[in-house]
Amino acid sequence: MTLPLKSKQGCWTCRLRKKKCDESRPACSVCTALAITCHGYGARPGWMDDSEAVVNVLEELKGVVKVTSRLKGKAKAGGRGRGPGPEGVVLRPKSGSAGGGGGGELNLDRDGNGNGTSKGALDTSPSIPHGEPGPAAASPPSTASQHSIHGDESILLMHFLDHVFTLQYPLYRPQAIESGRGWLLSALLRSKPLYHAALATSMHHRRTLMLGRLSPSARATALVEQERYLEIAIKAVTEQAANACPAVGLDIMLTVVQLVFFEIFAGNGSGWEPHLRATMSMYDRGYSHDLKPFRLAERSRIILQDDLPLGEEDDSFVSEEVISFRFLTGTIIWLDIVSCITRGTAPVLSSYHPRVLAPDSQVDVGKIMGCRNRIMLQIGRTAALVEQWQQQQIQEARSGTFECKPLRQTAYDIYQEIQCEIAHLAKEDGFVSEADSILDFDLATVPGEDPEMLITRLFACMASIYLRLITQRSFPSSLTSLDESIHVEAMTRLRDRIPGKLLAALVCPLFIIGSIANTESDKQYFRDVFSQAPLSASIYQDRAKILPVLEKIWSRRRVDSTFGWNDLLAIADGVLLL
């Protein structure tokens, strides 16, 4: 029998190391055995054109190999079976990132035998024993063991709570009456997958901050630890999903959302997308079964289903479940909408928007990411309209007729809703409650200004511009046809009223508003914003791609009078606006 010929390319890691590659997929066996990052078989990574980056990657790879070899030697000498350890980590191919880390792929599907498929051969004994509910639990762990955390992990845990979580949610400031972030700490200590996903993200952030001060060996050791935490989290989630253990459904969703942020931070291309799809699928499945798959307390389930406020009679356990589920819901809806804008697709969970994003909903997206429900609802409706509009344009090209009256009516309804909310915000402008003033003093530009209101005003301007752009055949050559007053208001607010600390919450409006910039002074503003802190020094890797995308848009608009929204989508190529 003639064996199929393999390509002579090999993975990019083996080619860089000048080693023979067996070209296994998704990661070659050579890289897997050494616990080094397999950079895959796709397009040549951009960092390979930078000689300094190549040297840094080589040093890091050598350091990992050295550490892994030493760990293997110790394991053989010790003679005690504690699992394969770091050498058993299976690293997935990465999408051209030289930063290291990441790439674990969550698999929530079942194989032909009805069993979940899990990857990796890592010992998943937790660093701290986590008591998780479920019928399979033999006996509850002792209170002492539940709170026994190793010194290094306590540092990483606090770094996550103090720094990483606030980078993910810069506007989230829960009030004392909501018990602050106590629900988060409780979930971290209760859920083994979430705990290790948080440690992996924390380790990545710390390693990134200290990259220039660490020796190659120290960087390698940190990378191995990061991948170890990540593999534990992914394996634990996959196993729990395979066992169909509904008692930890909520914790699984929290974990997968954290994996979304890890992949975004690590810059692993579109590696975050499978995790987000998995989360949305679990959310949809849970709601279609009256939230029963999450095995919530009955009181929690009733509160969430009927969208009731928490009462004084609700105990801490119910409060924690309700708060964490509502936070999770707002986060998923937000990520779903924002990720659709530069892809030209409809939000997956759009059927939930009218309920979740209603003005009186107990899920307050504004408290999570800054933009209030009413405007976020209209942005979601506009994103859904984009897909319908594109389908109508295809039909027009085929038949020569464009029956768009229903779509134009929908667009008009969205526009009216946006204008009503802008008028409502104008009345509220400058007013902030005493409680919010005390809570958000560190984010406000001047005393008495509410950060949430400032951010919502910018999102409202963006929503109006976004709607106009998708319903016009081409970008306007001047702003007279685009409602110049909205653009002027947006630029005035950005220049005069938005403090630097709030820019991290405004990446999406900055991109949409920046895409229609006509004057050189306006374009220079966006160049400055995306070239300076906090956006230039951000852990969000996709933010570095936004300014080059804007430059291409401006360049194309100068020479192409027919440049339209579909052309923008082609240039943006799904860049994430977070």
Segment 230-240, tens digit of pLDDT: 999 999 888 87
Classify the phi-psi angles of 196: left when phi > 0, otherwise alpha if psi is within -120 to 50, otherwise beta.
Answer: alpha
| Residues 245, 150: Cα–Cα separation, whole Å | 28
| Residues 576, 570: Cα–Cα separation, whole Å | 14
38: helix, coil or strand? Answer: coil
Answer whether residue 305 shows pLDDT above 90: yes
The fraction of the chain above a pLDDT of 70, given in percent, is 75
CA quadruple 216, 219, 225, 228: dihedral sign: negative
pLDDT digit string, tens, across residues 122-178? 333 333 333 334 333 333 333 333 446 777 899 999 999 999 999 999 999 887 777
The reported pLDDT for the residue numbered 46 is: 74
Residue 63 — very low, low, confident or very high, per pLDDT cuts 50/70/90?
A: low
Least confident of 29-33, 283-287, 528-532: 29-33
Residue 5 — very low, low, confident or very high, per pLDDT cuts 50/70/90?
A: very low
485: helix, coil or strand? Answer: helix
411: helix, coil or strand? Answer: helix
Q: Is the peptide bond before 476 cis (omega within 30 degrees of 0)?
A: no
| Residues 377, 413: Cα–Cα separation, whole Å | 12
| Residues 551, 112: Cα–Cα separation, whole Å | 49
Answer whether residue 112 shows pLDDT above 70: no
List, in sequence order, every residue forming a beta bridge with 116; answer none if it has no partner: 110
The reported pLDDT for the residue numbered 478 is: 59
| Other CB atoms within 10 Å distance of the CB of residue 221 | 20
pLDDT digit string, tens, across residues 516-572? 998 999 999 999 999 988 888 667 888 999 999 999 999 999 999 899 999 999 999
What's the average model confidence in pLDDT over 243-257?
75
| Residues 304, 289: Cα–Cα separation, whole Å | 13
pLDDT digit string, tens, across residues 376-412? 999 999 999 988 887 777 777 676 666 677 888 899 9
**Contact residues for 90 (Cβ-Cβ < 8 A; gap 6+):** 27, 32, 119, 120, 121, 231
Pairwise pLDDT comparison (351 vs 444), residue with the higher score = 351
What's the average model confidence in pLDDT over 82-90?
33
Pairwise pLDDT comparison (251 vs 536), residue with the higher score = 251
| Residues 487, 298: Cα–Cα separation, whole Å | 49
The reported pLDDT for the residue numbered 430 is: 53
**Contact residues for 106 (Cβ-Cβ < 8 A; gap 6+):** 234, 237, 238, 256, 259, 274, 275, 278
3-state secondary structure 49-118: HCHHHHHHHHHHHHHHHHHHHHHHHHHHHHCCCCCCHHHHCCCCCCCCCCCCCCCCCCCCCECCCCCECC
What's the average model confidence in pLDDT over 39-47?
77
Among 51-65, 266-280, 393-407, 500-514, the range with the most confident prediction by mean pLDDT is 500-514
The reported pLDDT for the residue numbered 129 is: 34
The reported pLDDT for the residue numbered 435 is: 38
Mean pLDDT, the chain, whole residue set: 79
Residue ranges of alpha helices (H) inside 342-364 are 353-356
**Contact residues for 209 (Cβ-Cβ < 8 A; gap 6+):** none
Alpha-carbon distance values, 545 to 90, 110, 178, 358, 551 (Å): 29, 36, 37, 33, 10
The reported pLDDT for the residue numbered 42 is: 74
Least confident of 102-116, 220-234, 451-465: 102-116
Residue 14, H or E segment: helix 12-17
Answer whether residue 434 shows pLDDT above 60: no
What's the average model confidence in pLDDT over 264-293?
89
268: helix, coil or strand? Answer: coil
The reported pLDDT for the residue numbered 120 is: 35
The reported pLDDT for the residue numbered 175 is: 78
Residue 477 — very low, low, confident or very high, per pLDDT cuts 50/70/90?
A: low
| Residues 110, 259: Cα–Cα separation, whole Å | 20
The reported pLDDT for the residue numbered 504 is: 92
Vertex 261: Cα angle to 503 and 175 (nearest 5): 60
Judge contact between 220 and 66, C-beta under 8 A: yes
The fraction of the chain above a pLDDT of 90, given in percent, is 44
Place of tokens 């630029």: 491
pLDDT digit string, tens, across residues 309-365? 998 888 989 999 999 999 999 999 999 999 999 999 999 999 999 999 999 999 999
The reported pLDDT for the residue numbered 340 is: 95
Answer whether residue 7 shows pLDDT above 80: no
Pairwise pLDDT comparison (454 vs 395), residue with the higher score = 454
**Angle in degrees, 0-180, between the axes of helices 192-209 and 151-159, rounded to the nearest 10:** 80
| Residues 123, 75: Cα–Cα separation, whole Å | 13
Burial grade of 295 (CB within 10 A; 0-12, 13-18, 19 or more): middle
Backbone angles phi, psi at 315, to 5 degrees: -75, 175
Give this prediction's pTM. 0.75
| Residues 133, 144: Cα–Cα separation, whole Å | 18
The reported pLDDT for the residue numbered 29 is: 79
The reported pLDDT for the residue numbered 443 is: 46
